Structure 1
């Protein structure tokens, strides 16, 4: 496993400590690795959506661009 040295702002460090103190995680390293896994999963979902939007845009199904499609999708999701 690769070792890294990173710095956190005081509020972020306090939050990390509280998660470990609450026994949500056994260490800050475990928590940070979990956060990175979540971010990677989220990025994979964003990439998948972006690919689908680009494919739809190129198919001629709509004349809306990807920004308009994304905005409409967000509006439907937030309703």
Structure 2
């Protein structure tokens, strides 16, 4: 397996994890992160392959469950404005 360049941010994160005593070495920290990524990707696949098609079937059977595109756009725009205002 090739060496991986993590950069200062992740090197410091690993150092902090080691200092906490939770992990014995950097490999344990990286493996823990990879396990989380693996779990996240599996959940994403379930969502894409199972949950989305099921919701699509629900909408086909009951179109009134849907939200009009204009409403969704308005919600996103309101959130964008709110986030921009908070960032100032």
Q: Which has the higher contact order (CA 8 A, sep 6+)?
A: 1
Contact 1:56 1:62 in 2 (8 A): no
Q: How far did 1:62 drift?
A: 5.2
Q: Which of the two has higher C-alpha Rg?
A: 2
Aligned mates of 1:40, 1:61 — CA distance in 2: 34
- CA contact 1:20–1:26 (8 Å) conserved in 2: yes
2:53 match = 54
Provide the C-alpha distance between the structure 2 equivalents of 1:18 and 1:30, rounded to a whole number of angstroms.
13
Relative to the length of structure 2, the TM-score reads 0.59
Total equivalences in the alignment? 64
Q: Deviations over 1:29-57 (max 9, x none)?
A: 01101100111101111111112202432
Superposed CA RMSD: 2.3
| Unaligned runs of at least 5 residues, structure 1 | 72-79
Structure 2 residue runs of 5 or longer lacking an equivalent are 73-88
Moved over 6 A (4+): none
Name the structure with the higher helix share. Answer: 2
User: Normalising by the residue count of structure 1, what TM-score does the alignment of the two structures yield?
Assistant: 0.65
Supply the distance in 1 between the matched residues of 2:16 and 2:56 (Cα, whole angstroms).
45
